[in-house]
């Protein structure tokens, strides 16, 4: 793929073919429901849990790809869609980017394509009876799609549930749309100088390049506004998760005096009251790990990500770190033929947890379900998802990576291609991609 093809993908990928986050660190409990049961009546019912990039793509795709008669219900605790992709441009003050660019209502496409969006939280799944329980009622399903995205896990930073809630309030991750984005934006605009810390999550997490893009754009904001500040990026890895060459070049050349990158640094505790982070890092000279402490003036604490406890509590197969398992090469749960898992909550395949991958997988799953609802063979594995991920490293330049899934020797893998020479053309493609994918889902 050459750069011209990359730009075309920015325009077209969403038409050929971005998960909800429940940011509550408190463990979800299995609920014994006493609600009246809303039964499946004279037509099949598909219930989708999660109105994010994956869930909404499934709903629309079912309708567009052949099924017109089934009932489709999409459940989400939120009543507005606030996008995480493109939010770093808003946070970093890129010209022309407004908060309104991140906000969408799923009600219009729901009406247009014939599905319902229900503002309610799903608290349990009884797969033996094919029933979900919400805060307001119980619903029977014919097929269930779990597209719940990610939840936060502060325990890997040594924080208990009480401290996790405080940390989330004081130093919001902004990996969930809405109030966290507004709060972090205000922090950046009101920052008077000093040390601003950004933490990179441990393990698998949503949008691998996001913390590094965010660091670049916040540093760009401080530099542009002549604020004497240092953005310190604490990363448990040896180098950025993806597009390492492009990000490190930006750190070292564009933001030499504004970004300090701390690799192989594992956070062990955060003192919220005294604004101090303790971490273990590898000392090259001593050839061993040593414990260090950094004091900060403000921070964007991005915790580890985890899958919803709905999966495990419902008896569904999960990976060792809790993400959903499926039957290769489908999105069908490994141990339930009526349940499908898609988007960021999926752990079976080596897919990046990104909006484009969620959208691409959602479109394919929608086609599978449309065929199943019409009594046809879904042909699992016939189509495999693709991904494109753009990252701004300044207000006018960006880098990118593409992924294409493949199925070989009984396994699903991905091939990646990097575009790490930052330029303005890729920045333009970034904006075209974002408005393309959101238009495709919400119009």
pLDDT in tens, 331-362: 999 999 999 999 999 999 999 999 999 999 99
Residues 322 and 150: their CA atoms lie apart, in Å, by 11
Same-domain status, 294 and 321: no
99 and 136 fall within a common domain: yes
Query: Per the domain annotation, does 9 fall within a domain?
Result: no
CATH of the domain at 138: 3.50.50.60
Picking from 281, 304, 327, the residue at the C-terminal end of a domain is 304
Q: Which helix (H) or strand (E) holds 77?
A: none
Q: Are residues 123 and 161 in the same domain?
A: no
Q: Per the domain annotation, does 387 fall within a domain?
A: no
Co-location of 143 and 159 in the same domain:
no
Residue 423 falls within a domain, yes or no? no
Structure tokens belonging to residue 237: 């890895």
Report yes or no on 85 lying in a domain.
yes
Q: 160 with 65, same domain?
A: no
pLDDT digits (tens, 9 = 90+) for 132-150: 999 999 999 999 999 999 9
Q: What confidence tens digit (pLDDT) does each residue in 109-120 have? A: 999 999 999 999
Helices 3-16/355-373 angle, 10° precision: 40
Residues 207 and 281 in one domain: yes
The answer, yes or no, to whether residue 273 has pLDDT greater than 50, is yes
Q: What is the pLDDT of residues 163-193, one digit of tens each?
A: 999 999 999 999 988 999 999 999 999 999 9
How far CA 21 is from CA of 78, 81, 345, in Å, comes to 10, 11, 10
Going by the DSSP 8-state scheme, the letter that residue 278 receives in this structure is E
**Over 80: is that where the pLDDT of 296 sits?**
yes
Strand partners, 168: none
Determine, yes or no, domain membership for 273: yes
133 in the same domain as 165: no
Domain residue limits at 109: 17-149+307-380
Query: What average pLDDT does the chain have?
Result: 93
Q: Identify whether residues 298 and 161 lie together within a single domain.
A: yes
Count the domains in the chain: 2
**Domain stop point among 262, 285, 304:** 304
- Edge-first strand listing for the sheet containing 150-153: 21-22, 150-153, 304-306
151 CB neighbour count, 10 Å cutoff: 26
* Same domain (yes/no): 143, 162: no
The model's pTM:
0.92
Report the half-sphere exposure of 146 (CA within 13 A, side-chain side).
33
Q: How far apart are CA 366 and CA 46, in angstroms?
A: 10
Q: CA-CA distance, 425 to 334, in Å (whole number)?
A: 42
């Amino acid at each position: 793929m050459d750069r011209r093809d990359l730009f075309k993908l920015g325009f077209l990928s969403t038409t050929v073919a971005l998960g909800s986050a429940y940011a509550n660190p408190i463990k979800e409990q299995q609920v014994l429901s006493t609600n009246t049961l809303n039964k499946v009546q004279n037509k099949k019912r598909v219930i989708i849990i999660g109105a994010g990039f994956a869930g909404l793509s499934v709903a629309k795709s079912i309708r567009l790809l052949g099924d017109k008669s089934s009932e489709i219900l999409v459940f989400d605790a939120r009543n507005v869609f606030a996008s995480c992709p493109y939010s770093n441009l808003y946070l970093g003050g890129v010209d022309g980017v407004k908060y309104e660019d991140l906000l969408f209502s799923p009600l219009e496409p729901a009406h247009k394509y014939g599905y319902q969006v229900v503002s309610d939280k799903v608290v349990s799944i009884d797969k033996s009876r094919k029933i979900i329980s919400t805060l307001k009622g119980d619903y029977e399903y014919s097929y269930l799609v779990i597209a719940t995205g990610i939840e936060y896990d502060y325990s890997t930073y040594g924080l208990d549930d009480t401290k996790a809630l405080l940390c989330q309030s004081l130093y919001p991750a902004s990996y969930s749309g809405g109030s966290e984005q507004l709060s972090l934006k205000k922090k950046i605009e009101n920052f008077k100088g000093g040390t601003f810390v950004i933490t990179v999550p441990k393990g698998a997490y949503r949008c691998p390049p996001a913390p590094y893009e965010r660091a670049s754009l916040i540093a760009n904001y401080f530099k542009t506004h002549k604020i004497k500040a240092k953005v310190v990026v604490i990363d448990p890895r040896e180098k950025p998760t993806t597009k390492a060459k492009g990000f490190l070049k930006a750190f070292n050349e564009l933001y030499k005096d504004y970004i300090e990158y701390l690799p192989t640094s594992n956070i062990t505790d955060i003192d919220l009251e005294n604004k101090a982070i303790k971490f273990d890092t590898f000392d090259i000279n001593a050839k061993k790990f040593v414990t260090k402490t950094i004091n900060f003036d403000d921070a964007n604490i991005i915790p580890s990500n985890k899958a919803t406890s709905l999966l495990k509590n419902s008896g569904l197969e999960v990976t060792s770190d809790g993400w959903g398992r499926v039957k290769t090469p489908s999105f069908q749960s490994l141990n339930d033929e009526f349940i499908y898992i898609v988007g960021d909550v999926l752990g079976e395949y080596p897919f990046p947890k990104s909006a484009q991958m969620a959208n691409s997988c959602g479109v394919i799953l929608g086609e599978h379900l449309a065929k199943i609802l019409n009594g046809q063979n879904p042909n699992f594995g016939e189509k495999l998802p693709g991904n494109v991920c753009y990252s701004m490293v300044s207000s006018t330049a960006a880098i990118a990576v593409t992924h294409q899934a493949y199925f070989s020797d009984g396994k699903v893998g991905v091939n990646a291609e990097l575009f790490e020479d930052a330029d303005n053309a890729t920045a333009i493609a970034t904006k075209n991609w974002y408005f393309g994918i959101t238009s495709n889902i919400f119009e």
